[in-house]
Structure 1
Amino acid sequence: MSITLLQILQTTPVRGIVGEVKKNYILDTNVLLHDPGSIFAFEDNDIILPVSVIEELDKQKTRSDEIGRHAREVSRQLDGLRSLGPLSGGVRLPQGGSIRIELNCRNTFENACDIDLNTTDNRILALAFHLQQCTDEPVILVTKDLNLRIKADVLGLKAEDFYSDKVDYPKLYAGVGELVVSEAELEGFFKQGAMEWPGNGLAPHQFCILKSAENPSQSALARYFQGRLRKLSLNGLVYGLKALNKEQKFALELLLDDGVKIVTLVGKAGTGKTILALAAGLEKVFEESAGYNRLLITRPIVPLGNDLGYLPGDKEEKIRPWMQPIYDNLEFLCNEHIQANGCMDYLFNTGKIELEVLTYIRGRSIPRQFIICDESQNLSPHAVKTILTRVGRGSKIIFTGDPEQIDHPYLDASSNGLSYLVDRIKGEEISGHVTLIKGERSGIAELGARLL
């Protein structure tokens, strides 16, 4: 779903980049490709785009992935702004600032620095250097390129990352807390299965470890919702799978609760994020009459070599390499639950399991399905928004991923879509989150995730 100019103008400006003194922000290409709405996110400050950035956008516009879509979206927005006046002279924006496109200023820069200006990055630096000499207002280069920020610093230019969608990842909401209660309250909780709790800053569906003040060795697991702490309801196996630690129990509680429509699971490799989501999905679609017509499993394609289109075969054959981890987990669950040959073939032959890559999910409407978006740390916040707007009535969606294992060139642990989603929806009653900590895949996998 493309962003309209009206929608962007109505969004809340970014935090942390607006001040009392008017500033000139020079935007790098990667900022625009990361967030097409970034040109409208600086309130009453002036936005300057080097003409070399427009050239870079033109090179990216033919791509069929998210970067290509963002390049085309930015170009459409700039073309729409031309109706308000010439971009070379500056166009006023509703927030009070302006946007203009500047030619690269070579002379001032060449006289001061012996740097090759045949690269786009250095031409952007040249413009920033020239503007800093020509104005008393602060000039700030905004780029997601770490090396370009370093080069700017060497030249005495101020440079910073784009902060609109960054979260404080070390303090990211974990979905689990600890409460100290009296021994009598703990005994009452065991007997009644619930207890009143005023909230005290707890988020909906937050899990709590209740500990006795008199005897800390006594504890209980609870989930908070609407002023009450309740016992966990999960008992037994879920499609042959057993929770191996308390975080996995918490995750299955959310995954099996049809009232929690959005679930986010974060954890390092081997903590069980994907297999827990798959087990819950198979249980809901094949074992329960929960109203889900299909299990839809999707993941982003972030190629390290050739793109998806260069692989041979039909769509199923093309996506097989990217979906192999899903096949591995499904095969394991089949062996644990049914322990019969041909189980995998049966599951797919029913038509109730669909594997899809995000390349093909745009524009769809997905009602009454149990949706799993794996490896979602490789999604931008804009991509996560696009996926959520595809979810139809009666559907449930799960996002899993490890923000510390990102392959996307413009994302990090603080700016990826998964971390952003966890931070933004933690207070919503239809959402729940758990950060899984302990690796359960194997001793080798745990050692690798912990030490390497």
Structure 2
Amino acid sequence: MKKIYVLDTNVLLQDPNAIFSFDDNEVIIPAIVLEEIDSKKRNADEIGRNARYVSRLLDSLRDQEGRLHDGVNLENGGTLKVELNHKSFRRLQETFGESTNDNRILAVALNYHLEQKEMDTPRPVILVTKDTLVRIKADVLGLRAQDYLSDHVAPMSDFYTGYNKLTVHPAIIDEFYSFRELQLKKLNIEYRLNPHEFVILKDELGTSKSALLKVSRDGLSLEPLHLSNDPIWGIGARNTQQRMALELLLNDDIPLVTLTGRAGTGKTLLALAAGLMKVEDEHRYKKLLIGRPVVPVGKDIGYLPGEKEEKLRPWMQPVYDNLEFLFDTKKAGDIDKILAGLGSIQVEALTYIRGRSIPSQFIIIDEAQNLSKHEVKTIISRVGEGSKIVLMGDPEQIDHPYLDAESNGLTYVVERFKEQSISGHVTLHRGERSALAQLATDLL
């Protein structure tokens, strides 16, 4: 049976092609949604870009198919209709009172639902929204509501971690240590391992015998880690996942590295230490470029006083904190003098990185979970010849209003690149900032 889907504004602002994601069903866009999209189209960010795209898309459908409020056909067999009013707000007013934009969208869905109930063969009416509270309100009204899932890469429980733990016969572990290589087919596993995926072998007989290996670039064999566990810039791996991360960060043959994990797991510190070693010690790259999205102020730092550097400082302070630790500075302002003297380390907001071509640089993008799919594509596509880019963040800590753990740009890159030989990923689980910080992460 065909369904009626009523779309909230946030669905279209997250995915401007969302109207084509509902097969041959009827898609309804309330008129207030057009008003909200119009209010966003002048924004100079991803939301503004999507608002403009939706506007052009709807206009092209109007031009090709006819009047949108009469309903037009979509290429996937469904129909699209812009609902001008659809009866009144009266029925909803008894429950929620105020005629807010969210309530007006709910009113459209409710009126359609009540109208369908009177039909001989009623069609299900489903409100699609990324707003949790709107879904709760819909439930109060007896309406079906669901999140928009087409932009989700994978359920959180299925997220790629970058490593596997396997129990094997001790003879297999002995064979690896003897020949320093192990063919994957000898493990007799039913699933495929990805290039540069790590494997922890444990003795199935219960002894302490174990081995840490990495899948080869061609994905056919297991090889030892190439790097020793010696500290770099005073930073050494404190757990197995951190050692995996350093293996990827210091490998020049892996130009794309993604690191995920909660606060305090060492993502930023490890990436900065690796970048400093590659730029300052080995001179493998010309510059260390560190970027961070400025989400808390709507990606606009213009209202802050001072020059660009002064505006950026509050949002980039976590990066400076880690640099102060690595350089072991003693006084306030010392890190600025060091960076000015070196000239090879640049800290920028992503507002100033997009649109550039960036060759021969070690690029670190912190808090990448606050990037959309389009934004992360824009950034990675600007990486020039001879550069390495590291994307890191915590997918469970999203500040962006239209993203979540399963639809953000960082998760998108991890899942889309996991089978590629030019990329590597590790999820860090254990906090190393302090016992208090780890306890706070677990309990709070």
Q: Do Structure 1 and Structure 2 share a fold, with TM-score over 0.5? A: yes
Offset from partner CA, 1:172-204 (integer Å, 9 cap, x none): 111111122332321221232221112742121
Which of 134, 143, 154 is the equivalent residue of 1:148?
A: 134
Aligned counterpart, 1:256:
250
Which of residues 205, 209, 213 in structure 2 aligns to 1:222? 213
Match of 2:392 among 382, 397, 400: 400
Which residue, out of 292, 299, 303, partners 2:296?
Answer: 303
For residue 238 of structure 1, what is the aligned residue in structure 2?
232
Contact kept? 2:91, 2:107, Cα under 8 Å: no
Look up the SS of the partner of 1:88 in the other structure. helix
What residue number does 2:59 align with?
79
Q: Name the SS of the counterpart of 1:328 in structure 2.
A: helix
Pairwise CA distance, 1:349 = 3.6
Query: Displacement, 1:113?
Result: 5.6
Residue aligned with 2:17, SS:
helix
Q: How does 1:106-185 map to 2 (within 5 A)?
A: 106-107=87-88, 109-111=89-91, 114=94, 115-116=96-97, 118-135=99-116, 136-166=122-152, 167-185=154-172
| Secondary structure, counterpart of 1:308 in structure 2 | coil
**C-alpha distance in 2 between matches for 1:146 and 1:165:** 16
- Write the deviation string for residues 275-319 of structure 1: whole angstroms up to 9, x where unpaired: 1111111111222243x2221111111216994110112211111
2:42 aligned partner: 62
SS in 2 for 1:309: coil
Equivalents in 2 of 1:349, 1:138: separation in Å? 66
- Between stretches 243-252 and 224-233, larger displacement belongs to 224-233
Partner Cα distance (1:304, 1:205) in 2: 37
Residue of structure 2 in register with 1:284 after alignment: 278
Work out whether residues 117 and 123 of structure 1, in 8 Å CA contact, stay in contact via their aligned partners in 2: no
The match for 1:13 is: none
Task: Within 5 Å, give how 1:16-35 maps onto structure 2.
Answer: 21-35=1-15
1:364 aligned onto 2:344: no
Change in CA separation of 1:120 and 1:333 when aligned onto 2, cut-off 3 Å: same
Report the alpha carbon displacement of residue 343 of structure 1 after superposing the two structures with TM.
Answer: 6.7
Decide whether the 8 Å contact of 1:169 with 1:419 is kept in 2.
no
Work out the CA distance in 2 between the residues paired with 1:254 and 1:306: 30
Provide the C-alpha distance between the structure 2 equivalents of 1:332 and 1:112, rounded to a whole number of angstroms: 57
Counterpart-to-counterpart distance in 1, 2:91 and 2:155: 41
TM-score, L = length of structure 2: 0.90
Q: Aligned letter for 2:306? A: G
> How far apart in 1 are the matches of 2:305 and 2:134?
38
Q: State percent identity of aligned pairs.
A: 55
> SS at the partner of 1:310?
coil
What CA distance in whole angstroms lies between the structure 2 residues aligned with 1:405 and 1:111?
38
Q: Give the Cα separation in 2 of the matches to 1:220 and 1:391.
A: 35
For 1:163 and 1:57, locate their aligned partners in 2 and report how far apart those are by CA, in whole Å: 20
d(CA) in 1 for partners of 2:395 and 2:60?
Answer: 36
Instruction: Say if 2:15 and 2:151, in contact at 8 Å, map to a contact too.
Output: no
The CA distance in 1 between the partners of 2:288 and 2:308, in whole Å, is 18
Cα shift readout 1:85-109 (whole Å, capped 9, x = no counterpart):
22222232222222221112243x5
Cα distance in 2 for partners of 1:300, 1:308 equals 11
- What is the SS of the residue equivalent to 2:63? helix
1:129 and 1:282 map into 2 onto residues whose CA distance is 58
After the TM superposition, which residues 88-107 of structure 1 pair with which residues of structure 2 at under 5 Å, given as runs? 88-107=69-88
What TM-score do you get using the length of structure 1 for normalisation? Answer: 0.88
Runs in 1 of length 4+ with deviation above 6 angstroms? none
Q: Which runs of 5+ in 1 are unaligned?
A: 1-20
Equivalent residue, structure 2, for 1:266: 260
CA shift in 2, pair 1:306/1:196, >3 Å: closer
> Helix, strand or coil: the match of 1:190?
helix
Task: Find out whether 1:40 has 2:33 as its counterpart.
Answer: no
Specify the alignment match of 2:119 in structure 1: none
Query: Equivalents in 1 of 2:307, 2:57: separation in Å?
Result: 35
8 A contact 1:183–1:215 mirrored in 2: no
CA contact under 8 A between 1:32 and 1:38: conserved in structure 2?
yes
Name the CA distance, whole Å, in 2 between partners of 1:112 and 1:326: 49
Query: RMSD in angstroms over aligned alpha carbons?
Result: 2.4
Are the structure 2 counterparts of residues 111 and 326 from structure 1 closer, same or farther at C-alpha, using a change threshold of 3 Å?
A: closer
Separation in structure 2 between the aligned mates of residue 406 and residue 232 of structure 1, nearest angstrom: 33
